[in-house]
Amino acid sequence: MKLYGEIMDPTLTERLKTLDKLKAKLDSFRPLPPEVINNLHEDLVLRFTYNSNAIEGNTLTLKETKVALEGITVGGKTMREHFEAINHRDAIHYIEELVQQKELLSEWQIKSIHQRILKNVDDKNAGIYRKTNVIS
């Protein structure tokens, strides 16, 4: 087995060593208390939602996304942007439920995820296959 420095850039090697040390430090705190796990999960869902929507052109900031997910509307932002954030979070929770139930992913579930994401955004196309090609 090769060690970090044998085939990699020295800068990358140092970063990996730093990550290993940080991982070992994190592991020393395990098992994490349930409230910490819950906070980490909420933060992950928030950041995943924010980044995914930002890629698609949603203009909510990270803080505005957090507020929207708490059920508060942000002035100057469209309802579409609010629904995109809420729907994304709901789709994540649905996928987590499927995983917890150890269900195999089916076509119906994929369409259901799609329907959740487009709810109140594009109801006409939510949960169905596209009928036209995308032209870029």
Predicted pLDDT at 1: 46
Q: What is the torsion angle, in degrees rounded to the nearest 10, for the CA atoms of residue 53, residue 134, residue 131 and residue 93?
A: -20
Note if the pTM is more than 0.95: no
What is the CB-side half-sphere exposure of residue 118 using CA atoms within 13 A? 15
More confident residue, 133 or 37: 37
Condensed to tens digits (0 to 9), the pLDDT of residues 21-67 reads: 999 999 999 999 999 999 999 999 999 999 999 999 999 999 999 99
More confident residue, 107 or 13: 107
Yes or no: say if 110 and 136 are a contact pair by the CB < 8 Å rule.
Answer: no
| Domains identified in the chain and CATH numbers | 34-118 (1.10.3290.10)
Average pLDDT estimate for 62-73 = 98
Average pLDDT estimate for 61-90 = 98
Yes or no: say if 75 and 88 are a contact pair by the CB < 8 Å rule.
Answer: no
pLDDT at 119 over 80: yes
User: Residues near 21 by Cβ (< 8 Å), separated by ≥ 6?
Assistant: none
